[in-house]
Structure 1
């Protein structure tokens, strides 16, 4: 990956603890992290940032992760950005498929899993 520009990532989760932990870890690794606690006006949130990957929580207010991800995937400029769907639901794979996400990560996850999942999805993108 070309390191002359910041690797940008957007995380949608209404859990402030998860946001701060993920942001801390990812910033340590050179990511530019943008976090949101809701997915309202999602295209307006993501478009100015144009991240290389998006992490999406299933229970994000207001419409939820499935609708939020589908909204991104319908947008011509944003649809190619890979989405990592995360949830504590046992049917997370089903939810991720329904949303149109590229991959998923079950909560609770450890930080190595987080890094591996992000790297895997970027290699496929």
Structure 2
């Protein structure tokens, strides 16, 4: 497997599709449906990218993003936010994520943005 991507998405269908697409592209994907399980994940520091939904059943993806960016261990790892409700401007006000993708998203656009974040230099 290739680079590691941590996915936080509460919609099971969307999570499964993203996991399948990224796995087909040889990424190693760790999927979570809620903030509690994501935060309990022990291997956050070895990830190459975080892909976070904004609206979650037990929290807010912007807060998760900020927690990752405030932590010395994970602050250098790129974060991409996803939302059908929030927009790029709201993301820029709320957290320091590197990129944003609006839902519904085009699969090829998602892959392009993921690839860009993983290849734009040595992230950590």
TM-score of the superposed pair, with normalisation by structure 1: 0.86
5+ residue gaps in structure 1?
A: none
1:43 and 1:71 in contact (8 A); partners too: no
Determine the C-alpha separation between the residues in 2 that align with 1:40 and 1:79. Answer: 19
Partner of 2:91: 96
Q: How many residues are aligned here?
A: 119
* 1:30 paired to 2:26: yes
TM-score of the pair, normalised by structure 2: 0.87
SS at match of 1:40: helix
**CA–CA distance in structure 1, aligned partners of residues 59 and 39 of structure 2:** 13
| Whole-angstrom distance in 2 between the partners of 1:23 and 1:64 | 21
* 1:48 matched to 2:43: yes
Task: Map Cα deviations across residues 17-42 of structure 1 (whole Å, 9 max, x no partner).
Answer: 01100111111111111000011264
Moved more, 115-124 or 67-76: 115-124
Deviates more, 1:57-66 or 1:109-118: 57-66
**Residues 1:121 and 2:117 are matched in the alignment:** yes
Per-residue deviation, 1:43: 4.4
Question: Which of 10, 16, 26 in structure 2 is aligned with 1:20?
Answer: 16
Unaligned runs of 5+ in 2: none
The equivalences for 1:61-72 within 5 A come to 61-72=57-68
Q: Cα RMSD between the aligned structures?
A: 1.6
Say whether residues 1:110 and 2:81 are aligned partners: no
User: Do 1:96 and 1:102's aligned partners in 2 also have CA atoms closer than 8 Å?
Assistant: no
